Chains A and B, each alone.
Chain A
Amino acid sequence: MKLTRRHFLQNAGIAAAAVATWKIPKGVMAASPVPAGTVATTGGLPGSLGAKEVPSVCEMCFWRCPIVGKVKDGKIVKIEGNPKSPTNGHRVCARGNSGIQLIYDPDRLKYPMKRVGARGEGKWARISWNEALDEITHNIKKVRDKYGPSSLAMFDHGASAEFYREIFKGLGTENYSNEPAFFQCMGAVSLAYLVTYGYKIAERVDMANAKAMVFFGTHLGENIHLSHVREYIAGLQNRAKLVVVDPRFSAPAGKADLWLPIRPGTDTALLLAWINYVIQNGLYDKDFVQRNCEGFDELKEAVKGYSLGWAARICDLKLDDIRRGIEMLAASRPHVTVHPGRHSAWYGRGDVQRHRAMAILTALFGAVGVPGGLYFPTPFNLEESDCLECEEPEDVEEPETSIKEKYPFTGYFGSPTAEIIKATRTGEPYPVKLWGICGVNILQTIPNPYETMEAIKKLDFIFSIEILPTEPAIWSDIILPEANYLERYDRVYANHDLTPYVTVRQPVMKPMFEAKPPFWIAKELAKRLDLDCFTCEREEEYLDEQLEAMGLSLAKLNKEGGLVTLKGNPYRDPGKAIKVDTESGKIELFSSAFDDEDMDPIPKFEPTPAPPKGYARLVYGRVPMHTFSRTMNNLWLSNECPEGKLWLNDEVAKKMGVKDGDEVIIENQDAYRSNPVKLMVTPGIRHDIVYLPHGFGSRSPLLTKTYKHGASDQFLITRYEQDPFFGGSSHRTDFVRLIKDGKTLDVPELRPIPSEIPRFEIKMAS
């Protein structure tokens, strides 16, 4: 007869007696009232109707659409847009809808943990908050005292990172920010437009009112920044013409009037030829240029050699198409959107000048401060709260050689990521010995993850503040679980776009487990590090402070549904000259800032090396249901798109003897190989590139139990060049071939490379 518990307990001798003495823990057994909000509302409205709505701000990507979290029976059941938002209204994208699976992800980080085993093994033990914070701050002090404050480096991105950046600033390091948002992404375009127009343009282009648009690699629709997707579609619905310049037939190419499948690395050649054509044929806004631009004569002289025929050869495009494109754009001036782009860290050298050329073309069209063109942010005042700022210490020991020294324009953005990693690995120009990470996937984001792993091994201490167990957590000594965006306050958000608004991220739910909001974490760190910041008791205090200048408070804002709009002032007065915050006071077609630093004041065409024979360039991009690698663990999003496929040109595929759906391995010029990935064979891509959606694929190669969902582009980006202006890293300078069934397959070259473009040479391993 099977043993039953009753029988066992009746007959158990000593054991049973001992059991009876086992105390039931007090806190558990006390009869407690049922927590509020958990009572089921039986007979309630269907679906998400009837839910309590809490206005907040999304952070499934960095666009920060205003949302409402809908709560029923103590659980968040749906996320929708905040109907008061002028940009998205009641709409949210796939990621926005899936925030529910972030908060209820069983893999979310729950407790502070410390590493057990070697860095990179991904083994942890739970510890208390006090232990974790003490350990972190003890190590910060130790490293700072031993090596100097600049040996501390912060890898920061996202809303919460803004808090921790202040802590590092307060510690006196010059490396308190190396935002990959700049060094691996927006740096080139930000700098180019800043020196041209004197302000941060932040992609403010009025697409909805454009009569023509041109995208250089911009793939809105695959990249979802909700308001921008709405605006570009609105522009198309208003019959705007669209020219897409992209080696791949992207989603917007599918809606375009003209697709220019440009040879990668030659966009600047096309732009310079277009600029020359516009000048030579008088297709520019003479009045605007005369009144508002500086350096037109120098520009005209500098570009006179770039003909459309030359560009056709360099760019591998048809001359007629090139002409048709520029005529289409010029005919619509000044209501032309030359989309400035966002992720511009392509080739390193030449990136900034590519965007300078775009900025110049925009100015020539007079497409500045007009409907359809670049528009101005509407300034308004938010108070800055002292509580949120840490002062740089007064007598801080500056390093003898700054890590930014090589780059004249780094100062705008922080310390170049690649330099911090190099300093960590080599000790030059000085040792970096401690990393703090928040919101940056150090391995899936930064070129040459193998170098990064090497660097991490040399650190005295590394900690991360994370939401999911991704690479930073895997490589950290201490991990702090952060509350996600649905569970916390951040700062007041001010949007300065066409219809400006103010809103606030506020908690829809209380943090689960022992996750803590960034303000609390920053406060605890500041206390232990003797920093005089984050001194407010609660977030509501600094939020009220920030809102005061606008005559608002958190309570008042919430009375208005969590969002208040203001009157926008995006356009210029057509009769008057515009005020430009550059050295000359005008839009600088000739950049004096660059000239002062011996950089080309007017863009030149600098070719980036073409792939070696037998290889294609590796290019990557976005898919609309993911945000980089951040969402790969999200149940709903990974179900919509579990793996990226490798795009390969159909003619090339035929010659290589591979077909759609075949599984291959990608090998780069440094002989690094990817996980297996399926091919998508299509006519919609050039012969000399392959394309992978970003963010999929392996975790650290040390782990054997990785997802096998596709290949990681990042782990194939092992070779990079740094931009000479600010030190950003290139991401599209790696070349690959394919391996199928164990056989290495060269990528055939279907069209010749012009002599002006050098080839990359693979150095043989010694």
Chain B
Amino acid sequence: MNQYAMVIDLDRCVGCHACALACRAEWNIPVPYHRNWVRELGPDKTPEGLSFTFFPGLCNHCDHPVCVDVCPADPVEKEFRDPKTGKSMKMTVKATFKDPFSGIVLIDKERCLGCGACVEACPYGARYLNENLDDPKADKCTFCVERLEHGEVPACVKSCIVDARIFGNLSDKNSEVYRLVYKKGAKRLTSKEVDIGPNVYYIGKKKDLYLLSERCTPHERTWEEVRAPGRRDLLLAALKHVRSNV
């Protein structure tokens, strides 16, 4: 199956935040929420020297998305279609799921309960609950799937002023992302505690990857709290109660 992925080149990245704002503009993400963010790291000492680098972050569309696991919505059958081959398959999914043909993790806004469980579960903090809406919904980066369907690249990739974002299909051996990940050793932000297969990778100088890894790798298994069964049932019950009183 395909897996879309992104590689961010810290040698090129200048931390200008164009990506974060192109995303905001494209999808009307209200302040203060972010689908795409940039953090400045350093200047700080590393074993490889002084580093001043950046953490452009977004949803990692993980191999094993824990956000999908914790969604309390009732599962329903959904049909998925591969736009390239026309193949289709049915899957039982909740309100958030990983598309089997693209590897992109998506949210069905119609079915989302707005409970915020997935927001809490994500160890990368990539999701948010849009409380500006009358009916709050979870939201996050979609790898611009809607644009991909029209043959366009993601908005952040398009706007990057130094072409630091490389986007493509990891299953395509001829793709640049494949080369960077499998031949050039691009790094993902994983730790012993959090190892769920993020599909956003980083390349750059050793000192910059060191600082990035030290500061931005998640270590908390945040989804385990959310999964606790008693809590989940409480959440669902509370939601039902709130909805019935509107």
Contact = CB atoms under 8 A, between A and B. Distances in A.
Interface of A: 45-49, 77-80, 88, 90-94, 96-98, 100, 220-222, 224, 226, 229-230, 233, 236-237, 249-251, 253-255, 259, 624-625, 635-637, 639-641, 682-685
A91 B161 contact: yes
**Residue with the highest number of chain A CB atoms closer than 10 Å, among B32, B152, B160, B208:** B152
Nearest to A78: B25
B165 to A, nearest CB: 11
Interface string B25-54: 111000110000010001111000011110
A97 B44 contact: no
A230 B161 contact: yes
A91 B158 contact: yes
21 contacts: A47-B146, A48-B155, A49-B152, A78-B26, A91-B158, A91-B159, A92-B22, A93-B18, A93-B161, A94-B20, A221-B16, A249-B42, A249-B52, A251-B15, A253-B43, A624-B15, A640-B17, A640-B20, A640-B21, A683-B45, A684-B50
B11 interface: yes
Given A47-B27, A254-B208, A94 B18 contact: yes
Contacts of B38: 640
Contacts of A249: 42-43, 50, 52
Interface in B146-177: 146-147, 150, 152, 155, 158-162
Nearest to A641: B17
Given A47-B147, A91-B161, A251 B52 contact: yes
**Residue with the highest number of chain A CB atoms closer than 10 Å, among B11, B32, B50:** B50
A463 B27 CA distance: 40
Nearest to B159: A91
Contacts of B22: 78, 80, 92, 97
Contacts of A88: 161
Given A91-B158, A636-B24, A639-B32, A684 B43 contact: yes
What are the 4 tightest A-B residue pairs by CB atom distance, in nearest-first order? Answer: A684-B43, A254-B52, A221-B14, A46-B146
Give the interface SS of chain B, mostly helix, strand, loop or mixed.
Answer: mixed
Contacts of B52: 249-251, 253-254, 684
A46 B147 contact: yes
Given A88-B161, A254-B53, A684-B44, 7 more contacts: A80-B159, A92-B161, A97-B21, A97-B25, A98-B21, A251-B52, A636-B25
**Residue with the highest number of chain A CB atoms closer than 10 Å, among B15, B16, B31, B144:** B16
B51 A254 contact: yes
A682 B17 contact: no
B16 A80 contact: no
A97 B53 contact: no
Nearest to A236: B11
A48 B25 contact: yes
A766 B205 CA distance: 56
Contact of A624 (B11, B14, B51, B53): B14
**Residue with the highest number of chain A CB atoms closer than 10 Å, among B38, B146, B162, B208:** B162
Contacts of B44: 682-684
A717 to B, nearest CB: 25
Contacts of B208: 254
**Residue with the highest number of chain A CB atoms closer than 10 Å, among B14, B20, B26, B27:** B14
Interface of B: 11-12, 14-18, 20-22, 24-27, 31-32, 38, 42-45, 50-53, 144, 146-147, 150, 152, 155, 158-162, 205, 208
B14 A251 contact: yes
B50 A49 contact: no
Contacts of A45: 150
B127 to A, nearest CB: 18
B208 to A, nearest CB: 7
Contacts of B11: 236-237, 255
B241 to A, nearest CB: 29
A636 B43 contact: no
**Residue with the highest number of chain A CB atoms closer than 10 Å, among B25, B32, B50:** B25
Nearest to B162: A233
A100 B16 contact: no
B12 A233 contact: yes
Contact of B26 (A47, A93, A259, A684): A47
Contacts of B158: 80, 90-91
A641 B38 CA distance: 10
Contacts of B12: 233, 237
A751 B147 CA distance: 57
**Residue with the highest number of chain B CB atoms closer than 10 Å, among A78, A226, A254:** A254
Given A49-B150, A97-B18, A640-B17, A254 B159 contact: no
Nearest to B52: A254
A45 B26 CA distance: 12
Nearest to B152: A49
Contact of B42 (A78, A224, A637, A682): A682
Given A94-B20, A639-B32, A229 B26 contact: no
Contacts of B152: 49
B147 to A, nearest CB: 6
Contacts of B25: 48, 77-79, 97-98, 100, 636
A229 B15 CA distance: 11
A249 to B, nearest CB: 4
B17 A625 contact: yes
Given A48-B25, A77-B25, A254-B52, A229 B16 contact: yes
Given A254-B51, A640-B21, A684-B42, A624 B16 contact: yes
Nearest to A224: B16
A96 B160 CA distance: 12
A683 B26 contact: no
A226 B161 contact: yes
Nearest to B41: A254
Contacts of B27: 47
Contacts of A93: 16, 18, 161
A713 B208 CA distance: 30
A367 B25 CA distance: 42
B50 A625 contact: no
Contact of A229 (B17, B24, B159, B161): B161
A49 B21 contact: no
A48 B51 CA distance: 37
A641 B21 CA distance: 12
